Structure 1
Amino acid sequence: MSNRSSSRGRMVRHMFFNLLLLWSLIYDVYITGLTHDDPKEQSWNNQNLDSVPQDLDVRLRRLDLSNNFIRQLHTLVLPRLEQLDLSSNQLDLISEGAFENLARLEELNLSRNALNNNLGSNSKALRSISRLTSLDISMNGLSDNAAELYLRNKSSLDQLKMTGNTLTRLSHSLFQESKGLRAISIDDNLISVIEQGTFEPLSQLEMLNLAKNNLAHICDFKLHQVKYLNLSRNSVEFFVTREDDQSYRLEILDLSFNKLLYFPIVPKINSLKYLDLQNNMVGTLNSEAAMVTEANSLFSEIMNETIVRKNNLHSIWRQMPLIYLDLSYNHFRSFPLETLGLLSSLETLNFSYNCLQNIIWNIRNYSDSGNRRQLFFSSLKHLDLQSNGLVYISQLFLNALTQIDTLNLQDNSVQLCAFMDHLESSESTQRINHNTSCVAFEQLQTLKHLSLKENNIETLHPNTFQETSLVSLNLARNPHMVMHVSALDGVQTTLSSLIISETNMTSSDLSLPCMPALTLLNISNNYLDVIPSSLSCSPLREMDIRNNRFVSLNYSLIHALSVHLNVVYISGNYFNCCDSKWLKTLNELKINLPDITETECFSGDSRVKMTDYLKSSSVYCVFHRKTQEVHIVQMFIIASFVFVIITVFIVFTRKLCSTERSFIV
């Protein structure tokens, strides 16, 4: 019995130890998994290395050897390595077996080296990497043939960068062995020719960057799969797509900094939302009609059509879901109302830096009747017309901006109309505007942000912005502007930001109403010496009073404003050091004074840095008071002396007169 129980005990103990051992092994495996399977990363960036360090940890997953002086790369034994960065070295020789033991390598950066040398060995080395998804061989001086060699056996490649090489021609065989590419950057090369079939077979291609090359024409765009296409900074003169019923996925097209004379003819069925045409030559032709006719003729010529059958440009643009269009820095002398009016989804239009002087409502009438066509920019919220030389804007154009939120008229020559509340009809308003060449904003009920900076505005009439919803208003750099007392009536309850800098205003010129929503005020670079007391009702968070003629600031006003104030700019004034209770309040409340180190105040005849004054204000002011007392004593002595002299002179004169009388008698 005892033997049986002892053997049973030994069995239990044996099982217990086995379980303990098993648990220990499981725990070790678990801990080992946590420590050894975690991604390991090592950086030898910018270490002046001329070769790869020895005895690298075989568990490494990411290795950064960039910005060194490595010229040759030999066999690497890093079976877990997934990312390798060898950019910005002097690498010109990679041994054929260098990457054979990198079975998991997915991302390889070889940019900024000299891979145009030893093409045979280098290309064979890259050919051995079977799982590579991202390859960067930018800035290696690669020619067309060299690039093709490096792309052999790259079926898993997803992203490719070949920026800054010397490619001149893209052949249809370039990507034959890497048809899974999703993103390609071949910008800043010398490409002037793209063979048909180069990109079309890449069914996964979404992003294509061909900026900064020598492309002159896009005659027949066929990339249905591409979502983002960058052709900026080439020499493109026209962009034409053959009309078909296939759907294109293109959403972003960048044609900026080219030589376009016409609007691009994009795919008929498209998804285009962002179109950048800045810095081209669109609008060089005298009229919108001429430009549209020329574009349609060009389309017919390229497509070998003998007769111009219809307005292809307009029929295609009418279907575009475009929400952003940049036409800045072109050559428009008239606003293309009919073409842009077709864009029913357009929200943002940048038309700055063109050659407009007037925006005239020259919409053609319907052919079958004399009735004027109705045209509205029903989705347009942001319109930038800066630096055009505008003098006149048709009221009918402004009325068509039914959803306008932001209007930038900076650097033009716009004069503002007086508020015409007694004119009911648009015809009357139009007649007034034609006669006076002024601009009225009273119909823009959705307008929230308006910039009239640098327009040489002469008069800001009463109720100028009545019936708008202005939140921010910029009136800066109008040096001759006369501002009427009630100029801001109608928007005083909505204005949150007001800029009236560089207008040469004195305190007697500036009259502001109570603005209970105002949080930012800029009245810098004027001749002001008093802040309007009406601002005491404003929850100002930021105030700029730089470069004026302030000697002191109203303490009670500053104290009232300090409840909300965060930032105040004060430099460039003539502050009196000993009349600065307002400054101490701002300082004690820790309100940010970003230019306090540049600010000076005056104590007697000396200038004092505000920062020094705040450290020991009593010293400067005691000295100032003593100086004042000395001056008072001196003035008293001088006045007494003058009084005595005058008294003596009067007495002497009287005695002399009485002596003369007695002598005569």
Structure 2
Amino acid sequence: MPAQHLTPILLCLLAMWRIQTPVSSHPQYNHCQLVQKTAVCNSAELSSVPARLPENLEEIQLNYNQIKTLHDNSLLHYPSLITLTLACNGLERVQSNVFQDSKLLENLNFANNNINTGYEETSVALRKLPGLRFLDLSENKLNNEMASTLLHDLSSLEYLNLSGNLLQRLDETSFRHLHNLKELDLQRNIMFEIDSAFGSNPKLQRLNLAFNYLPCLTDFNMTQLVVLNASYNFIEWFISRQDLNEMFQLETLDLSNNRLLFFPFLPSRSKLQNLYLSHNILRFYENLVDNNTLQNSTTSVEFYNLQKHMKNVTAQLWDDNLHGDISSLDTLDLRGNQVDYFPDGFIKKMPTLSRLRMSMNCLETLNLSSEQFFGSLYELDISNNRLNQISADDKLLTTFGNLTYINLSRNDLKELPFGLFSSLQRIHSVDLSYNNIGICLPDETNINVNNITSCVQWNNIGSLRQLYLKGCDLETVPTSAFMGLSLTHLELSDNPGIDVQDSLQSLSRTLQYLGLGNTQIQDIDLSHFQSLKSLNLSKNSLFHLPPSLHDIDLKVLDIRDNRLSTIPSGQAHSLASKLQTIFLTGNMFNCCQTEWFRTFETTKTVNMIGKSDIECQDILAMTHRVQDSQMFLCLEAGESILWYILLLVPICLCLTGISIVVFLTYKSKILQKSIKKKYLKPTSY
């Protein structure tokens, strides 16, 4: 990937890092480092292009300097130059003849400058580059007129970056000279219209329109386009040309974070593999046809002015001829929409679908049999819906031979098809968190005539590695619950009162992550869990850490929101020698026993998350941040608080006595003045 693909900010940071990295084996010229035929002159406080570098240079990096003007004679000494980067300079003027002798220059980076100031002269200079292929003009405050002028006659361009500018409206004249353009980045502008802007770019394959203000994309006819990113706009409609017999080459379409009302009207013939529609307001409307409650509603929609001189089009809200070809889809992302059902045959039209992401929708039921899922399905995420029922027949379950990840968390499930998970030969990760599904007791046969069970038997599922049962109201976990499993991740948090000590022993050889947060656990023996790397014991009212933590090689420990007052010195040193990350906030530590904090702080390999928020109380019950040790009031070793009391009592008595003496001394004078003022008044005679 060329350097021009980096965003301007990342490019500037990269430039600063590279200039600060020593290259002792390479010669230096005028604050530049030479690496083969590349001169790295980033962050060198240069105001012009160095003139005494080797003439055979092919690349000069001048990012993050102070070059305001690129003079005509700046590049005379470098006729072999292929790549020139001047990002983050405040560059305002590029003189018209600066590239007169740079016939080999292909890559030019002017990102994050002020090209808008002298854009007319810069445009003349750019026309002197017959072989220019990559041009980065991002973050230059360019408007439509400036961009059009700069791009005039640059027919050799293949990659163009105009992101982060002030473009508002594009039309057929915007890129009419860029006949060889293959990739165009227009993200983070303020565009609200792109009327026929790309008709002169038959080779354009990658187009980025993200983070703009486009209200719709209609009459989409760019058959050569392979990747289109139109995320983070205000798009309500995506309508492609349905009358084209030519195959669309589109493979990836990203319409996420828009305002789509309907499933996009895709090309009738395409190679679409990845369709991202997350975080819209999309749903299906086929059921309105039979909805008697909407007597005055219509099931059709009219489209006006889809194309000049074109008659109005009337179409059904769900029409197989309009939603287009989805037979090649590999990934369908519909997260964060309002989908409450799949239209008849919708899933069946995607025989190669491997990833279906449906979290944060409104599904209430899912019939795996009637939807006719194919065996290609690899990932199924239906979390955070309203599911109260999932049904499937035994024959269908055997067809899910490729299903590896399934997420059913945050639904209203109370029952599941019997053998749902044990029938999946390659199942690797299952998430049933925040459902009311239990773990079956030995010999439990809670199965009704419809082959439905309210508990799941997890033992002997050989492929399972990650199991998430968070917030399932689990109380009793059979000793044999996880027998025959090779779990690496087990999440049991938010199950208050759960007892898992005996059932976990079968996982001591393989378990790497264990979640026991908010389970009211007070102690647990983990001394045999030699593979355990991450442990969550948060929200458990712990007064001390389990002693068995000494014996395992933990890397991540979460003990937030407990009742820890200190961590013994020996335990702190043991943990510090192994841990990489520790969470400690939410405990009220003793300010006078914070040696553990200094142990973790001096051990540079331990990262205390939220270090500034860790609190403690001193002997006067005042709260401080542990890192502010100079604010604490503590006793020295061996001292008793009785000595402080004996010291304070005489002081208080002395202050009280002095106050009484002062009051009595001035009391008589105060009384005399008061009497005189009240009774000794002058008379009239």
Distance 1:256 1:315, change over 3 A: closer
On the 8 A contact 2:263/2:283 being kept in 1, the answer is: no
Q: Does 1:387 align with 2:384?
A: yes
Shift of 1:283: 0.9
What secondary structure sits across from 2:188 in the alignment?
coil
Q: d(CA) in 1 for partners of 2:499 and 2:370? A: 49
Q: Does 1:530 align with 2:537?
A: no
Q: Does 1:475 align with 2:469?
A: yes
Q: Which amino acid aligns with 1:452?
A: L
Q: Does 1:160 align with 2:160?
A: yes
1:488 aligns with 481
Q: d(CA) in 2 for partners of 1:527 and 1:249? A: 57
Residues 616-650 of structure 1 deviation map (CA, whole Å, 9 limit, x = unaligned): xxxxxxxxxxx9xxxxxxxxxxxxxxxxxxxxxxx
Residues 351-373 of structure 1 deviation map (CA, whole Å, 9 limit, x = unaligned): 112233x1244x9xxxxxxxx96
Identity between Structure 1 and Structure 2 (%): 26
Q: Which amino acid aligns with 1:569?
A: L
Matches within 5 A, 1:190-589: 190-196=190-196, 198-241=197-240, 242-283=242-283, 285=285, 287=287, 304=311, 313=320, 317=324, 319-336=326-343, 338-356=345-363, 358-361=364-367, 375-395=372-392, 399=397, 403-416=402-415, 441=421, 444=424, 446-455=426-435, 457=436, 459-462=438-441, 464-466=456-458, 469-478=463-472, 480-485=473-478, 488-489=481-482, 492-505=484-497, 507=499, 511-512=503-504, 514-515=506-507, 517-531=510-524, 536=528, 539-545=531-537, 548=540, 549=542, 551=544, 553=546, 562=552, 565=553, 567=555, 569=557, 571=559
Q: d(CA) in 2 for partners of 1:472 and 1:72? A: 59
Residues 15-59 of structure 1 deviation map (CA, whole Å, 9 limit, x = unaligned): xxxxxxxxxxxxxxxxxxxxx994131314362x44445555544
On the 8 A contact 1:451/1:475 being kept in 2, the answer is: yes
Structure with the largest fraction of helix = 1
Q: Does 1:67 align with 2:47?
A: no
Distance 1:306 1:613, change over 3 A: closer
Matches within 5 A, 1:611-650: none
1:174 aligns with 174
Q: Which amino acid aligns with 2:173?
A: S
Q: d(CA) in 2 for partners of 1:544 and 1:310? A: 49
Distance 1:190 1:294, change over 3 A: farther
1:104 aligns with 104
TM-score norm. by structure 1 comes to: 0.69
Distance 1:574 1:279, change over 3 A: closer
Residues 219-248 of structure 1 deviation map (CA, whole Å, 9 limit, x = unaligned): 222112111111112222222222332112
Distance 1:606 1:600, change over 3 A: farther
1:424 aligns with none
Q: Which amino acid aligns with 2:38?
A: K
Distance 1:123 1:405, change over 3 A: same
Distance 1:135 1:259, change over 3 A: same
Distance 1:584 1:288, change over 3 A: farther
Shift of 1:313: 3.3
Distance 1:327 1:420, change over 3 A: closer
Distance 1:477 1:307, change over 3 A: closer
Q: d(CA) in 1 for partners of 2:331 and 2:54? A: 51
Distance 1:271 1:290, change over 3 A: farther
Q: d(CA) in 2 for partners of 1:521 and 1:582? A: 20
Shift of 1:322: 0.8
Q: d(CA) in 1 for partners of 2:116 and 2:545? A: 70
Shift of 1:377: 3.5
Q: Which amino acid aligns with 1:225?
A: Q
Q: d(CA) in 2 for partners of 1:51 and 1:290? A: 73
On the 8 A contact 2:340/2:361 being kept in 1, the answer is: yes
On the 8 A contact 1:568/1:591 being kept in 2, the answer is: no
Runs of 5+ consecutive residues of structure 1 not aligned to the other structure? 1-35, 364-371, 422-439, 616-626, 628-665
Shift of 1:441: 4.9
Distance 1:378 1:98, change over 3 A: same
On the 8 A contact 2:284/2:342 being kept in 1, the answer is: no
Shift of 1:251: 0.8
Q: d(CA) in 1 for partners of 2:333 and 2:400? A: 18
On the 8 A contact 1:233/1:257 being kept in 2, the answer is: yes
Shift of 1:402: 5.7
1:624 aligns with none
Q: d(CA) in 1 for partners of 2:400 and 2:324? A: 19
Q: d(CA) in 2 for partners of 1:294 and 1:52? A: 68
Distance 1:569 1:219, change over 3 A: closer
Q: How many residues align structurally? A: 539
Residues 566-613 of structure 1 deviation map (CA, whole Å, 9 limit, x = unaligned): 5362746778999999988878xx64464399999999x984644779
What secondary structure sits across from 1:220 in the alignment?
strand
- Return the index of the structure with the highest Cα Rg: 1
What secondary structure sits across from 2:120 in the alignment?
helix
Q: d(CA) in 1 for partners of 2:377 and 2:163? A: 37
Q: d(CA) in 2 for partners of 1:147 and 1:501? A: 56
Distance 1:87 1:327, change over 3 A: same
Q: d(CA) in 1 for partners of 2:219 and 2:145? A: 26
Q: d(CA) in 1 for partners of 2:315 and 2:349? A: 21
On the 8 A contact 2:215/2:235 being kept in 1, the answer is: yes
Distance 1:395 1:101, change over 3 A: same
Q: d(CA) in 1 for partners of 2:248 and 2:106? A: 31
On the 8 A contact 2:411/2:434 being kept in 1, the answer is: yes
Runs of 5+ consecutive residues of structure 2 not aligned to the other structure? 1-33, 292-296, 442-454, 602-637, 639-685
What secondary structure sits across from 1:239 in the alignment?
strand
1:660 aligns with none
Q: d(CA) in 1 for partners of 2:534 and 2:305? A: 60
1:124 aligns with 124
Segment of structure 1 superposing worse, 518-527 or 275-284: 518-527
Distance 1:84 1:452, change over 3 A: same
Distance 1:160 1:525, change over 3 A: same
* Alignment root-mean-square deviation, CA: 4.4
